[in-house]
Structure 1
Amino acid sequence: MVKEDGTILNYDYINGRRNVDMINAGKILFDVYEQTGNPKYKKAMDLLYNAMMDHPRNSLGGFWHKEVYPWQMWLDGLYMASPYLAQYAQVNNKPELLNDVIMQFLIVEKFMRDPVTGLYFHAWDEKKVQKWCDPVTGLSHHFWGRSIGWWYMALVDVLDFVPENHPLRDKLLVIADELARTLPEFQHDGLWYQIVNLEEREGNYQEATASAMFMYAVAKAVNKGYIDRRYNKIATEAERNSA
């Protein structure tokens, strides 16, 4: 998959193919490079970093989800790129990159969190022109369980690389705590629905993947001390009812 010059098979981030979905799998390169010392893996890590530094952004510095999805931020995009970039920042001593990663979360929290429910809308179009968005807010209309799960997993995974003395760490911890307080309000028999707040909607259903994501994020956040241990009940109920 990785050639001697660090290029990655079938990965082309030029010619309109810049896409944050392509970054997440690169996390394995850190372990492979540490175990083998083969410089081609370091070159591949640098390739992915450089691709993201060349990735299009909105006016606030938030990464577009894809080059072909202009001005759009999606919750799942945070999971696809941010943990990789946070680890790259730690390994290569790039505090400015870590600040960039944290900024992505703060942008999403400001523009995509619903103050009424505490949930997050799946996507936001800064230009407010997409057919799927609200013409006033630029937000999509629904709370998609999987996307919130990706967002929450991204948050707790990135926190692993944020030093305890970082000035913005507490803001990330507050975001983690707020979502942990919100999730039980929409948990039914331990699980969550595909559209989280529309459990009565015909065709909606309890979604295994979203529930697994929430279980992982909450359990890890508790075990790492990012949120209070009382929230562990959320994860244990999900585990018990998913069996």
Structure 2
Amino acid sequence: MNREKLLGKAEQVYEYMVIAPESDWQRNMYNWDWKPGVGLIAAVKYFEATGLETVREYLWRWMRDNRHKAAQQRVINSTAPFAALTELLRREPEAAAEWMPLVQEHGDWLMHKAPRTKEGGFEHTVTEGVDFPEQLWADTLVVGALFLARLASLTGDAVMAKEAVKQVLVHLQLLQDETTGVLFHGFDGVNRNHMSAARWGRANAWVAFGVPEIVAHVKHLAEIPAEVYERYTALLRGLVRYQTANGMWHTVLDRPDFYLETSAAAGIAYGFQLALRTGMIEDSALQAELRQAVEKAAEAVMIHVDVYGAVHGVSGGTPVMPTVEAYNEVKITPTPYGQALALMLICELLEGRDRGLGLKHSYSSINGIAGRSR
């Protein structure tokens, strides 16, 4: 697909995401929560890829309109919008005086007050008031730890950067299936098991792109253990093996009788492309496999985008389900994160494979806001 077609598809996907009615619970973009947060992360990437002023204006308007909700609940899932806000501040450091105290306050909560498992991983906490004690979910890496990495790179906080790396390693260690290389959705620290032991597609997508982005943000501030690269490489090898002939992945990777799921395909392909661009994978043969997998997945994802920009074939919000079979019963519907994962993939394809992450404003250029963990 040429650049003009990619731009057109990106515009459609973005517009469908941001015009969602507030009354639509699945598509609502007006909560300070993980679904809109992932959408905002993608919108920032779309702005970076296109420079469209209307997108920038939307992002800042969203932040202003929803700011009063930011501190209502301190949970992992309410962290996601801060990852988008941090990138806006990287681009516009003049806004730091107004916004940085809010950002730093949540960063401090993550560092010092967020519930953790015995291994030190962030316990998955949600806005719905349901507790998952001692549970580690793959979702947390993007909706929680990504913000920590971005804030660390923005402020030059080496302690925070080290914590972001720790979260990556703990999640990989506890969730990875040593036989297949792919990840289970969650880990129960009380019973020391993976609960339903589902190798869920979107869980793997979160980690597939979360790891290379986190590493790219903090590798100049903290040492990245070799184990991170080794486990991440094993993850990508496993995911390549589970890709279907039509470029998709099943909602549970090792269940070919389950439905094919679009957000997993978009997120995994985005992760592959990001891994290639940021140098996470050294094996040339695997690099070639990943490029081929991205091409197949991108074509498959585009087929699932209708003329209005809606991304179809996306499973609704999914906690760790009681059985593997229950994942196949999750309703399929357009969602902000489904739009977001497709949009991030398209933007990554637009930006090309050879550029760096382009952190245009590092902590050294933001006077007066560099923070330390308190």
Q: Contact (CA 8 Å) 2:156, 2:221: kept in 1 or not?
A: no
Q: Indicate whether 1:175 and 2:234 are aligned.
A: no
Shift of 1:63: 0.8
- Partner SS state of residue 256, structure 2: coil
Matching residue of 2:175: 112
- Partner SS state of residue 105, structure 1: helix
Q: Indicate whether 1:219 and 2:282 are aligned.
A: no
Q: Deviations over 1:216-239 (max 9, x none)?
A: 000111122212432211111111
Q: Contact (CA 8 Å) 1:219, 1:232: kept in 2 or not?
A: yes
Q: 1:93 aligns with which of 141, 156, 160?
A: 156
Q: Contact (CA 8 Å) 1:65, 1:73: kept in 2 or not?
A: yes
- Partner SS state of residue 219, structure 2: coil
Q: Deviations over 1:117-157 (max 9, x none)?
A: 211110111012xxxxxxx5254321111111112121111
Shift of 1:102: 1.2
Q: 1:186 aligns with which of 237, 242, 245?
A: 242
Shift of 1:176: 2.5
Shift of 1:110: 1.8
- Partner SS state of residue 23, structure 1: helix
Pair 165,99 (structure 1): closer, same or farther in 2 beyond 3 Å: closer
Amino acid at match of 1:155: V
Q: Indicate whether 1:28 and 2:91 are aligned.
A: no
Pair 219,50 (structure 1): closer, same or farther in 2 beyond 3 Å: same
TM superposition score normalised by structure 1: 0.85
Q: Contact (CA 8 Å) 1:143, 1:197: kept in 2 or not?
A: yes
Matching residue of 2:335: none
Amino acid at match of 1:55: A
Q: Indicate whether 1:205 and 2:268 are aligned.
A: no
TM superposition score normalised by structure 2: 0.56
- Partner SS state of residue 118, structure 1: coil
Q: 2:123 aligns with which of 25, 50, 64?
A: 64
Q: Matched residues in 2 for 1:11 and 1:164: separation? A: 30
Q: Indicate whether 1:81 and 2:81 are aligned.
A: no
Greater relative contact order: 1 or 2 (C-alpha under 8 angstroms, separation 6 or more)? 2
Q: Contact (CA 8 Å) 1:29, 1:42: kept in 2 or not?
A: no
Q: Indicate whether 1:43 and 2:98 are aligned.
A: no
- Partner SS state of residue 162, structure 2: helix
Amino acid at match of 1:235: V
Q: Matched residues in 1 for 2:159 and 2:69: separation? A: 30
Q: Deviations over 1:36-95 (max 9, x none)?
A: 613121112112202212111112211111172211110001111111101111222221
Q: Matched residues in 1 for 2:194 and 2:293: separation? A: 31
Q: Matched residues in 1 for 2:233 and 2:220: separation? A: 16
Q: Indicate whether 1:155 and 2:211 are aligned.
A: yes
Shift of 1:169: 4.6
Q: Matched residues in 2 for 1:8 and 1:29: separation? A: 11
- Partner SS state of residue 187, structure 2: strand
Shift of 1:197: 0.5
- Partner SS state of residue 250, structure 2: coil
Pair 160,168 (structure 1): closer, same or farther in 2 beyond 3 Å: closer
Q: Contact (CA 8 Å) 1:124, 1:140: kept in 2 or not?
A: no
Unaligned residue ranges in structure 2 (runs of 5+) = 1-61, 304-374
Q: Matched residues in 1 for 2:146 and 2:173: separation? A: 20
Pair 60,190 (structure 1): closer, same or farther in 2 beyond 3 Å: same
RMSD between aligned alpha carbons?
2.2
Q: Matched residues in 1 for 2:220 and 2:229: separation? A: 11
Amino acid at match of 1:240: E
Pair 138,224 (structure 1): closer, same or farther in 2 beyond 3 Å: closer
